[in-house]
Each structure stands twice: as C-alpha cells, then as structure tokens.
Structure 1
C-alpha cells in the first residue's frame, strides 16, 4: 500500500527543552484512500498529531512525510475541519466555502477568471451534504449541524488529497452527529480522499474508519492498531451488532488502561 502519511519516531515538545513532551516515539502510517481514526485518553497528543501532519508544528525529532515529501511547512494538499466550524459571520455560506481558494496557491491565481466553475463546485458540495439552496445564507442563519456540513464543504473545496478531522462532530446532538457520520462516509466513498479522524467517540471511530490507532497517555505514542472488520458501505444499523459493540468495548478497555498507566 502507498502511504500518504508517514510519521516516523517523532518527538514533539511544547515550550522549549524543559517544556511539555506531547508525543514521543510516535509512529503511524496511513495509506492513500484510507480512513484512519485516532483515539486515546484526553491530553494524549491527538491534536498535536494533527498539527504535525498539517505542518503547523515541526517535530524536534523524527520525520513526518505527506505524499512522500518531508513536512517542513504548512501542507497545501490538506483540508481541515474542527469541532468549531469558525465560519466568518460577514460572509455567506457560499463565500465561506470558497475561502480556501483565496489562500491555496494552486487555486488563488485561477479564482477570479474561473469563479463560475468554483461556485458550481461549491454548490455541488452543498447538495451532497444536504444544504442545497443554503449558499446565500449567513452562518448565523444556520444550525450547528448545518454549519458543520458547510465546514466539510469548505475543507473539500480545494480538492485536498488528505482530510484531517479534529473532533468535528463533538458539539452536536446525537441524531445530528449520526447524520453527519453518514455524510462523511458517503464523501469518503465518492471522492476517495484519505481521511484522518481524531475523536473521543469510539462508536464514531468504529463506524467510520478502516483502521483505528489507540494512543497512550502523554507523551503520546501508538499503543495498538485495529483493523475494522465491517464491510463497506456501513449502515447505522451495524452499531447494534454484537461484533461492533465488542470492538467498542475493547477500545474502551485499552484507553482505560492507558489512563491508569499514565
């Protein structure tokens, strides 16, 4: 398998030589087109992993490679979505989605001359996530779940090879969260984008991922790697099956042990 993401024996410390060691000896590989989930105790370095892969932080030791290139600066082939959609309140939903195109160099120079093409792409993404006709609305006119749907569109508009999701559904109610699991499941199937999901929700990880990485308490490292055995496409009904719940309980037990060992 060709690895799109490769983290090799990485140490990352905040605050200088005497600061907090967030991850140590971190190793992880994610294949092209794969959906990977990262779980672990609070403070285990999951968000640090996100920053390392996207080039927002550089490690003190080891190497991070994305698409075969050593990460030494912010990575342009990555789309990101976080728990808080942070949409700009003075821009319409459509203009919020188009925002990355004003920043990513590959698209920035084309945007003015090809605006219609990009607007059509944004409207297509809105339709995919169930927001057809909402492009002219402002963020304050959308519910939290609708804003997060728009946030996913914004993360995908520049056609990233890698999508990094940091607790993107954590602030939503259970029903909206499950709806968005199905949205991201379908986006992954349709676009073949590689996805790394950081989450505390073990059901979410098991429903969405091909592989789940369990991290230790700080300083974070990968304790165990699970291959999720359930065939795709997965329906929400799989969550009521014994095998699914057994896997969730196994993950829960591993994280509980990691917390005690801290």
Structure 2
C-alpha cells in the first residue's frame, strides 16, 4: 500500500497476516510502521495497489459491512444522547437500516443491554459532554458492537486514558470477547495491553511495514489484572519490547 502516487510513501510491503475466526490478535510495532494502514486495508477503507485482503472468505473491494471499529478518539456526536450515538451505525448498515424505524424499541433495548455490559447502565440519556473520557470510550465500544459485527477493529482505543481507566476497559474488552462471537484485531503501543488481551501478538517492522514475528500468548483465560505482575507475563512483554527496538533500529 503506497500513499501519494507511484513515488509516494510505501506504507506496507510484503505484509502477510492471517487471523482465525473468534481469535483476538494484537498488532504492535514502531511508530509509523503501518499498523493503522493494516486496519484500513482490512476494513476496505483502503484497497492495496498489489496483493489482496480477504475477510470472511470474500475479497475486500469496498468497505466491509461486518466490521465494527473503535478509535482512540470516541468521536461521539455532541448533539445526540449516548443511546442515540450508539444507534448511529444502524442508520448506516444496510441490513439494519430498513428495520430500525419499525423496530426501534428492540434496538434501544439491545443498546441498553450493551450499556449495562460495559458498566454504563442508566447513562443512555446523557450527552457525551456529561461523560468522562473513560465513559465515552465505553459508549464508543457499544456503538462498535450494536450492529453485531463479526470483526471488531480497535485502533489505540485506550491510549488517551489514565492507567486505572485503561485497565478497567481491558477487563471490559476481555469480557466482551468471551461473551460474544466476535473476532478482534487491536492496534496498540501498550505491550502490557497486547499480552493481557490477545491470543496472538503480531510484531511489525518499521516502514514499509511487514510482520516480523508472531507470539501465541500462553496464559489461560480469563486473565485477571494480577497477571501483570507475574514474571512470565513481564518476560513476554520485554521480549516484544526488544523486537520492536530492533525493528526501529533497522529502519
């Protein structure tokens, strides 16, 4: 994938990655290595100049409807309540759009269940400016899940939050993955986050990005936060840190 024409920036090259249905994969690497480009290629927001992307058995040639996405900035619309922000994708996703008007109560009930799942019960009628940053990100996750995506793409969703709120949301994502039939791909700079959440951690090279290693995370689920202080956990984190430092030095 190259930006800016034939002589532009080569973002990724020789990038090969396979994610199984139901798997939780974290993607880490040096800044500018193409992690976000990988997300955009997977979701069909970009189409590669060479090579191909296949999601759920279909070649990606346009934006993929079975995907939910959450970014570092929750981007909730300030004039809509939290509940109405969560329902927004249903106005866009074709298979839900025609049902939304006739079945709005059903969808609202579903949104309320999601809010309760992420610890926001009773906050549906609040506006985004009445919520903390962590609460907004919880609502953002609900919005990404409301249309029952088969694939959830998370691009640095917790990067702007304080450490305690971030760890709380790790547990929310852990429980969502355990309870829903969803495949998750997480782009993150936080190596502890990647090891705590993922089944597999993928390390990318410096730009142009490609996969240089894959690590299966050996710790049983469900993982509790006290695993962060276990030697085996931190050994894997340090191994990942070393690989990224090597990739950065090779740039």
SS in 2 for 1:223: strand
Structure 1 unaligned blocks of 5 or more: 1-11
Give matches, 1:90-169, under 5 Å.
90-169=79-158
The residue aligned with 2:187 is 198
Q: Deviation at 1:163?
A: 0.1
Greater fraction of residues in strand: 1
Give the Cα–Cα distance (whole angstroms) in 1 for the partners of residues 44 and 4 of structure 2.
Answer: 18
1:71-102 deviation per Cα after TM superposition (whole angstroms, max 9, x unaligned):
00000000000000000000000000000000
C-alpha RMSD of matched pairs (Å):
0.3
Give the structure-1-normalised TM-score: 0.96
Runs of 4+ with deviation above 2 angstroms: none
**In the TM superposition, what whole-angstrom CA distance separates every residue of 1:151-197 from its partner, at most 9, and x where no partner exists?**
00000000000000000000000000000000000000000210000
Supply the distance in 2 between the matched residues of 1:236 and 1:164 (Cα, whole angstroms): 23
2:35 corresponding residue in structure 1: 46
2:177 is matched with which residue? 188
Deviation at 1:245, TM superposition (A): 0.2
Displacement of 1:261: 0.2
Is the partner of 1:187 in helix, strand or coil? helix
Q: Quick one: distance in 2 between partners of 1:31 and 1:233?
A: 19
1:222 aligns with 2:211: yes
Question: Structure 2: which 5+ runs fail to align?
Answer: none
TM-score, structure 2 length as denominator? Answer: 1.00
Question: Alignment length, in residue pairs?
Answer: 251
Equivalent residue number for residue 2 of structure 2: 13
Q: 1:132 Cα deviation (Å)? A: 0.1
Aligned to 1:8: none
CA distance in 2, matches of 1:51, 1:232: 29
Q: CA deviation at 1:149?
A: 0.1
